[in-house]
Structure 1
Amino acid sequence: MRNHHSHLRILIAGRAGFLGSHLCERLFDEGHDIVCFDKFLTDTKESVAHLLGSPNFELIRHDVTSPLYVEVDEIYNLACPASPVNYQYDPVKTTKASGRGGINMLGLAKRTKAKIVQASISEVYGDPELHPQTESYVGHVKPTGRPSCYDEGKRCAETLFFGYRRQHRMDIKVACMFNIHGPPMHPNDGGVVSKFMVRVLRNEPNAILGDGTQTRSFCYVADLIDGVVGLMRMPSDITGPINLGNPENAQ
């Protein structure tokens, strides 16, 4: 397999989403061939319109829960609804996107001998009893709550990734992402930052739920992309999970 200084053919699963759009721009600007797919359940093709005429860019309408047969050197698996509004709309499909989707992307990586990064999330820690969470912390989870379709789906994906590594010696990476923010976030994604910003733009008072002592780890999208791409380029013995966020708790 070629090293990261070479011209690579890279697959981004979930390209039309917020994170996928930034990742695609970064890797495209580096001169790689980009193959992307998305179901376009929560986003549209508008975010990729300026790339559609390039010979180095290919866009496929595809559902990650079905197998995909392409030839690639690296895979970034971002395919899953990410906002509470979207992932709770159809909890069964959300769980399938992470579980069955993870199997399909791992199967593709195994066949092509590609490196693969799984986009995991801070929700895998559940309602954590440790702040901030370290890579060694295993979480405090509730598999029956409304958000569990997202939380448990991502936990299942992590299990699959490490299972494939142990069984097939694959080069896998897991990036655990915390409260990503930046342009062009959807104003109704249900996250803390977007809620605050929408209220400010509407000249409405901001409300802080709970007793005000809770904390969040925020990560600007450009910094997140640096972390994800950097993790992909690390040696094969570095797998993660690596937490990508701000270690200083934000009130």
Structure 2
Amino acid sequence: MILFWIGIIQKSSGFFKNFMMKIDPRILRFALSLLIFLYSAFLVEFLHDFFPGIGPISMGTYPLTYLIGLISSVLGYKLMIKMKSFFRCLAVFFSLFLLITYIAFDLHESPTVDALKSCKDAIRIMRHTENITFKDIFSENRTYSIAGMVKYKDVLPEYLYSCTYEEDSHPFYSFYLWKSGKKIGSNNKYWVIDSLSRQDTAIFRDVVKGARYEIIAPPALFSGSSKHLFKEIYGDLEVTFWPISQNMNHGFETWFYRFLDIRWNK
């Protein structure tokens, strides 16, 4: 069986070599260099569609990626002219191919969305699923948050918030808040949570650094699609409620959620 496949590979390589010898080297080099530029254009479009949510600033990655693709294309053509061996030309082509891929992924980033980091985190999660905990649902890292929502989908609360205490815009304590039916809970063991007579409104009482605070959450905090960022300021103390979206956007989020769901919940 092994000898059979060795024979197939030898015949294929011989056919491929004879085929490539019939092509004009100049046309081949031009085609390869053009493919480099076309790939850079395709890649930036793919990244913006598959990793959405960066915002207007990310538009700068378009001209940068196109420029890098154009420079790489011209550089690749000039290098391939000096290469007498076809396989060396291919080595130059694939080297530039990989370089553009890495640069494009690295350019496509922001504090909330980072294509390269998202891919690394996804691989890390798939290799160590046992490390995902319920707390990961409330992580600022969206990839880990999605993994947590998949792993605990059967017990997932209706509303999820990541909460932060800040002093002079510097966060010093983070925790989370959830609501399932009429029950409201938090991992902040110092919070006293009281429901008001008004529907979907709650009071949170806490003692922070020796001072007592009473936070009245607006009805919108637990009211369907109107769930939003809620921020209250009490002197030097800022209390921020960050909503954890359970709706996956198109692209990476949808793909990653479905992939994990199929793999973990067969």
TM-score of the pair, normalised by structure 1: 0.22
Instruction: Please identify which structure carries the higher strand content.
Output: 2
TM-score of the pair, normalised by structure 2: 0.21
